Amino acid sequence: MNLHLPTLITALAIGFLGGYLGSISNSPSGSTSLFTETEKQPVKHKPLNPFQSSASSDDAEYQFEALQLKIEGLQIQIEALQKFQKQTEQKKSVGTLSSHKNNASRRFSRVSPNKENLLNAGVNSDIADDILRRISQQDFRRLELQNLIQRSNSAQRRQYTKELRALNKNKISLRSEMDDDTYDQYLFISGQNNRVKVSSVMAGSPAETSGFQSDDIILSYDNQKILTWTDIRAATIEGDIGSYTSIEILRDGEQMSLMVPRGTLGVQLDAVQIDPTQ
C-alpha cells in the first residue's frame, strides 16, 4: 500500500498553515489589509478559524497556540503512518524477532495500558491500580480543558491553553513508573515494539567505521537500555563529542559490543519486537 507520505505531510501542513495565515489576513487588526486590484476596497472574508470571535491580539495568540496543538497531534499521526509503511514494505524477517501473534494493527498505534498487561509484566496490583487511575484522571482533565477552550473568552482560553500544554508536557509515562526491565516486558506483552533495528548504515558515518551492519538490533548505549528510537536519540546527545562509548547489539542471535564515538551515529532505524526473556 503506497501512502505517498511526503505528499500527505505537505498537504496537511499547507492546510493548517494556510487556514491560520488566512484568518490573520482577514483580521482588521492585522498589519495589512487585502484589496482588489480594481476597486482597492477591503475584501471581506468569513473567518477561517472557528475560534476567532474578535480581532484582538489575545485571539491571535490563542489561534497560534491552538495551531501548535494541532500540529503536535498531526506529528503523532504522521509517525504512526511512517511506521506502518516501513513495516508493510519490510519483506525480510529478523531471526530473533518474536512470533507473538497479536493483531498487527496494534503495532502501529498507541496501546492504552490495562491492568492485565501490567500484572503480567510483574507490576504490583495496587501500583497498577494507582498508575491507571492517575492516567485516567489526566485524560479526563485533557478532554475537559479542550472543551473549556472552545467555550471561553480570550483571557480564559489563554489560561486553559497554557494548562493543557503543561499537561501534555508532563504526561504520565509508564516508562517513568517502572524499571526498564519491567517496562520492556510490558511492551512485549502488550504487543508493542520494544527494540530498534538498524535498517541501513550511512556511508562514511561513525556507524560504518565502527562496524554496524543492517539488521543489527541495538540493546544498549553506554549501559543504558534502548527500547525505542527516542532512547537512542537521547543517548547520542549526551557526553563529549570525540569521546568513545560502547553499544551492545544483537547480530544473528549473538550479542556483541561495538565502540563508537559519541554523537551522530549515521544509521536508519526501524522499530521491532523481541521477547526480552530469550
Residues paired with residue 244 on neighbouring β-strands, in sequence order: 261
Same structural domain, 150 and 200: no
CATH at residue 250: 2.30.42.10
Using the 3D structure, point to which of 67, 89, 111 is the last residue of a domain.
89
- Count other C-beta atoms under 10 Å from residue 95's C-beta: 10
Q: Is the residue at 52 inside a domain?
A: yes
pLDDT band for 242, please (50, 70, 90 cuts): confident
Q: Is the residue at 244 inside a domain?
A: yes
In the predicted structure, residue 237 carries a pLDDT above the cut 50: yes
Q: What's the domain count of the chain?
A: 3
Same structural domain, 203 and 170: no
Question: pLDDT tens for residues 44-90?
Answer: 444 444 444 444 555 666 666 667 777 766 766 676 676 666 555 54
Residue 200 burial (C-beta neighbours within 10 Å; 0-12, 13-18, 19+): middle
Same structural domain, 78 and 133: no
Same structural domain, 63 and 13: yes
Q: Is the residue at 99 inside a domain?
A: no
pTM of the model: 0.58
Same structural domain, 4 and 68: yes
Same structural domain, 170 and 199: no
Q: Is the residue at 95 inside a domain?
A: no
Q: Is the residue at 137 inside a domain?
A: yes
Mean pLDDT score of the chain:
77
Helix (H, G, I), strand (E, B) or coil at 254: strand
Q: Is the residue at 106 inside a domain?
A: no
Same structural domain, 159 and 199: no
Contact (CB, 8 A) for 152 and 160 = yes
Contact (CB, 8 A) for 105 and 169 = no
Q: Is the residue at 72 inside a domain?
A: yes
Domain range enclosing 83 = 1-89
pLDDT given for residue 157 in this prediction: 93
In the predicted structure, residue 108 carries a pLDDT above the cut 60: no
Same structural domain, 164 and 216: no
Question: pLDDT tens for residues 216-230?
Answer: 999 999 999 999 999
Residues paired with residue 106 on neighbouring β-strands, in sequence order: none
Residues 202-216, mean pLDDT to the nearest whole number: 95
**75 against 91, higher pLDDT:** 75
Q: Is the residue at 187 inside a domain?
A: no
Cβ-proximal residues to 11 (8 Å cutoff; 6+ apart), any chain: none
pLDDT band for 16, please (50, 70, 90 cuts): low
Contact (CB, 8 A) for 27 and 55 = yes
Residues 264-270, mean pLDDT to the nearest whole number: 94
Same structural domain, 143 and 214: no
Same structural domain, 199 and 163: no
Same structural domain, 201 and 238: yes
pLDDT given for residue 10 in this prediction: 56
Q: Which of 269, 146, 273 is nearest to 212 (CA)?
A: 269
Residues 238-266, mean pLDDT to the nearest whole number: 93
Same structural domain, 211 and 149: no
Question: Hey, which of 62-71, 91-100, 238-247 has the most confident mean pLDDT?
Answer: 238-247
Using the 3D structure, point to which of 89, 113, 141 is the last residue of a domain.
89
Residues paired with residue 42 on neighbouring β-strands, in sequence order: 35
**62 against 173, higher pLDDT:** 173
